[in-house]
Amino acid sequence: MNKKDFNIVIVGIGGQGLITITRILAEAALLEGLDTKTSELHGLSQRGGSVETSLRFGLKIYSSLVKEGGANLIISLELQEALKSCYYASREIGTLFLINEFSKPIPGEKIPKKTEILEELQGFSKKTIMVPATNLCEEKLGKAVLAGVFMISLASFKNLVPLSPKSILKAIKKQIPGKYLELNLKAFNLAKDYNFSI
Amino acid sequence: MEKVLLKKSAKKILLLGNEAIVRGALESGVKFVSTYPGTPASEIGNTFFKIQNSKSKIQDLHFEFSTNEKVALEAAAGASFSGLKSLVAMKHFGLNVASDFLIPLCYSGIKGGQVLVVADDPSCWSSAQSEQSTRAFAYLAHIPILEPSDPQECKEFTKLAFQLSEKFKIPIMLRETTRVALQTAPVKLGKIVRGKTKAKFVKDPHRFSTMPPRVLEMKRELLEKIEKIKRVSEKSPLNQIHRGRVSGKSKMGIITSGISYLYVIEALKELNLEIPVLKLGFFYPLPEKKIQQFIKSLKKVLVVEELEPFLEKEVERLAKDINPLVEIFGKNLLSEIGELKPEDVILALTRFSNKKPKFNFTNHLKKFQNLKLKKRFPQLCPGCPYWLIFQSVKRAAPKGTIFGGEIGCYMLAAYPPHYLQDYLFCMGSSAGIAHGIKKALRRGSDETEKQKVIAFVGDSSFFHAGIPALINTVYNKSNPLIIIMDNKTTAMTGQQPHPGAPAEDKGIEIEDIVRAVGVKNVKVIDPVNLRELEKTVKEFLNKKEVSVIIARRPCIQISK
């Protein structure tokens, strides 16, 4: 495999804006002169169930899907969904998890503890980072759905993804329609000022 | 949508496969577009719909959401008979609906170029009723089929399809799959052209009336056309050998097409293998000589394709004449069910070439399967009026009631907490089957005779295929309760308008149709009136004739 290929899987729940953030990342890759591909699903699979998109960029990309165990970065917008994405994660490739500390209960099932999830993820990852993105965006910006844009911006600022904040910012401006742009830029800036130790 | 209309040619922009098809059609001068929404083809119609409603609209371009796929194909054919270029888009089982017309249409052919886009959904990501390969229609209808791999090819193949269609006066099918239709990649733009705008229907019953005995002559003409197109296919750069020529000691080769091609190239990179790949852009007619030339000196050939082994069988047939000893691999290494994933192709290739994979997929999968994952079912949106309908129906229906489902958001009735679905097939079928069950149960016992049947039908589905089934219950006298789930939109596929809920005016009233066909027990109820709905369900279930409740409240996605 080409060393410059970078593989991202994004998981979450329908309605969390996965498709938008996937497109922003792809746009940013294109702005950096890279080849890129994404894959997404529409229709039934968007109705509040588990959702997953994939994104790859590099010098020349063929498949839009990330292969089993082949994700460099997994962005999970919900705690339990992170477990489902382990299909794409492996210690061999050194998968990095960026997880939104947010739980949407599954009706009739008890919510697993954060520590339980972290333990399970260990077998599949090099490093796991949790951020309370939903809470933060709700608290500071009044909109939970901005968690996604916050997380990809954070990934860029903290070098978890080889795409510069400048490109991400440009891509946000290109992909987000006018009336929502301002809030999304706020989410970007919130990520810029957010500190955590890796 | 704006990006699809971008004027700058030669610029590279990110497009979905479906958006790239729209762009390809605009670069070909398309003038008439029709569709019935269905994932994974919906974005084609949605994009044209937005173009039509935007200020920057394309001049003289007609777009419509037709009542169903068959009508969409007929409408576009009418435009093509009159000399305009047309495009029709639908999902795989939409083509089942349209097939009655498709087959004779290939006999007569068209005048203005016509492209039929069909999107298959391997793995049934957004398809309830069946996983099918539309390639089968090549044999049934003799329609030429092109299969793009990525968005750039979606655009280029659309243009080529228009050219072929104009030249040979036959509709051309562009077959996509979910991972092509919903794949985003940079696409190099060409120029949008205006195309021919003046339509004229020149009478020519010899061509457009498929009467016997002429119809058999037409079939002969169609087969002759296909022979000519086969010669184009033989020479076409769409069917090409990638990654080197047949050489070396191993004498292996791969034949593939569509999305599978992308996985093959990735797998070869992953395994550091140099095996020649014949990529086929034409599925029908196949470049038979080119395939024979490719396999002539091979010892082993691997056919990588999703779903049924159509290509593999063709390769087997072609090998008999040219290289009967060649070993052909395909469905012995790859599943016939579900879509292919990159790792499936890597694993198939390791077994084919006896090369070890770098990554232990088997162990990894075992480890993954040991995680105790909880299933998250799709849900109706918060505030969806269907919650109210299901709740009332559940309370009102006596134990043992049989519930018929259909295609749309209301098929979520199958999942918790509703559990209101005892059967589900295609659009329009819930009432059709309900009639048969009701009739049959009269011949059961005293108990079955009392058993109730409730059929759910969506508003868009009612117009699509529900009306003939309703008329049948009246005409042939049975008494199911039909609940029309009228949320004033085609919700599941992304809120497209339909005859009962057009974008501009009031539309056709469903109750007018129901009454006009002779249904006596009809009531329109807003499901927020839970009591009234519950009472009416109880009352109507005891009627001797068919009854219809129109439960009307707009989809939360359009009313919020």
Q: For residue range B524-546, what is the model confidence (pLDDT) as tens digits?
A: 999 999 999 999 999 999 999 99
ipTM of the complex: 0.95
Q: Which of B14, B54, B306, B361 to mutate to test the interface with A (most CBs of A within 10 A)?
A: B14
pLDDT digit string, tens, across residues A68-109: 999 999 999 999 999 999 999 999 999 999 999 999 988 888
Residue A197 belongs to some domain of the structure: no
End position of a domain, from candidates B235, B266, B301? B235
Q: Tell me the whole-structure pTM to 2 decimals.
A: 0.96
Better-scored residue on pLDDT, B59 or B408: B408
Which CATH number characterizes residue A19's domain?
Answer: 3.40.920.10
Residue B93 belongs to some domain of the structure: yes
Residue B298 belongs to some domain of the structure: yes
Q: Are residues B321 and B347 in the same domain?
A: yes
Closest CA to A37 of B48, B338, B342: B342
| Burial tier of A24 (Cβ tally within 10 Å: 0-12, 13-18, 19+) | buried
Residue A198 belongs to some domain of the structure: no
Q: Are residues B217 and B269 in the same domain?
A: no
Q: Are residues B259 and B222 in the same domain?
A: no
How far apart CA A144 and CA A134 sit, in angstroms, is 5
pLDDT at A106: 87
Length of chain B: 560
Q: Are residues B391 and B344 in the same domain?
A: no
Q: A38, A53 in Cβ contact below 8 A?
A: yes
Contact A124 B367 (CB under 8 A): yes
Residue A152 belongs to some domain of the structure: yes
Residue B244, pLDDT above cutoff 90 = no
Q: How confident is residue A190, by pLDDT bands cut at 50, 70 and 90?
A: very high
If you average pLDDT over residues A147-154, what whole number do you get? 98
Q: Are residues B214 and B276 in the same domain?
A: no
In which element (H, E) is residue B389 found? helix B385-396
Residue B245, pLDDT above cutoff 60 = no
Residue A144 belongs to some domain of the structure: yes
Which CATH number characterizes residue B427's domain?
Answer: 3.40.50.970
Q: Are residues B182 and B262 in the same domain?
A: no
Q: Are residues B335 and B435 in the same domain?
A: no
If you average pLDDT over residues B264-284, what whole number do you get? 96
Q: Are residues B94 and B204 in the same domain?
A: yes
Residue B155 belongs to some domain of the structure: yes
Residue A99 belongs to some domain of the structure: yes
Range of the domain at B308: 240-370
Q: How far is B288 from chain A (nearest CA, A)?
A: 27
Contact list in B for residue A49 (CB cut-off 8 A) is 376-379
Which CATH number characterizes residue B272's domain?
Answer: 3.40.50.920
Q: Compute the mean pLDDT over every residue in chain B, rounded to the nearest whole number.
A: 95
pLDDT at B375: 85
- Domain total in chain B: 3
Contact A50 B14 (CB under 8 A): no
| Closest Cβ opposite residue A84 in set B343, B361, B373 | B373
pLDDT digit string, tens, across residues A6-47: 999 999 998 899 999 999 999 999 999 999 999 998 877 667
pLDDT at A2: 42
Kindly write down the DSSP assignment for every residue of A43-102, as one continuous string: GGGGSSSEEEEEEEEESS---SSPPTT--SEEEESSHHHHHHGGGG--TTTT-EEEEE--
If you average pLDDT over residues B367-387, what whole number do you get? 91
Pairing of strands B114-120, B86-91: parallel
How far apart CA B519 and CA A124 sit, in angstroms, is 61
pLDDT digit string, tens, across residues A103-118: 998 888 888 889 999 9
End position of a domain, from candidates B212, B235, B258? B235
Contact B361 A84 (CB under 8 A): no
Contact list in A for residue B179 (CB cut-off 8 A) is 39, 64-65
pLDDT digit string, tens, across residues B3-20: 888 877 878 999 999 999
Edge-to-edge strand order for the sheet containing B282-284?
B62-65, B32-35, B86-91, B114-120, B172-177, B145-146, B282-284
| Burial tier of B106 (Cβ tally within 10 Å: 0-12, 13-18, 19+) | buried
Range of the domain at A158: 6-103+112-192
Give the number of A-B residue pairs with CB atoms closer than 8 Å. Answer: 143
3-state secondary structure of B492: coil
The whole-angstrom distance between residue A156's C-alpha and the CA centroid of its chain comes to: 11
Range with the poorest average pLDDT among A173-182, B225-234, B480-489: A173-182
Question: In this structure, what are the phi and psi dihedrals at residue B237, rounded to the nearest 5 degrees?
Answer: -65, -10
Kindly write down the DSSP assignment for every residue of B61-115, as one continuous string: -EEEE-SSHHHHHHHHHHHHHTT--EEEEEEHHHHHHHHHHHHHHHHH--SS-EE
pLDDT at A45: 64
Give the chain A residue nearest B375 (alpha carbons): A106
pLDDT at A198: 56
Residue A85 belongs to some domain of the structure: yes
Q: How far is B47 from chain A (nearest CA, A)?
A: 15
- Domain total in chain A: 1
Residue A182 belongs to some domain of the structure: yes
pLDDT at A110: 87
pLDDT at B149: 98
Q: How far is A82 from chain B (nearest CA, A)?
A: 10
Residue B427, pLDDT above cutoff 70 = yes
How far apart CA B425 and CA A157 sit, in angstroms, is 50
Q: How confident is residue B409, by pLDDT bands cut at 50, 70 and 90?
A: very high
End position of a domain, from candidates B178, B213, B235? B235
Contact list in A for residue B409 (CB cut-off 8 A) is 47
How far apart CA A84 and CA B374 sit, in angstroms, is 9
How far apart CA B23 and CA B1 sit, in angstroms, is 10
Q: How far is A197 from chain B (nearest CA, A)?
A: 29
Q: Which residues, 6+ apart, have CB-to-CB distance to B371 below 8 Å?
A: A83, A86, A120
Q: If you search the block for the tokens 């492209």, which residue do you land on?
A: B115
Contact B378 A69 (CB under 8 A): no
Residue A69 belongs to some domain of the structure: yes
Length of chain A: 198
Residue B57 belongs to some domain of the structure: yes
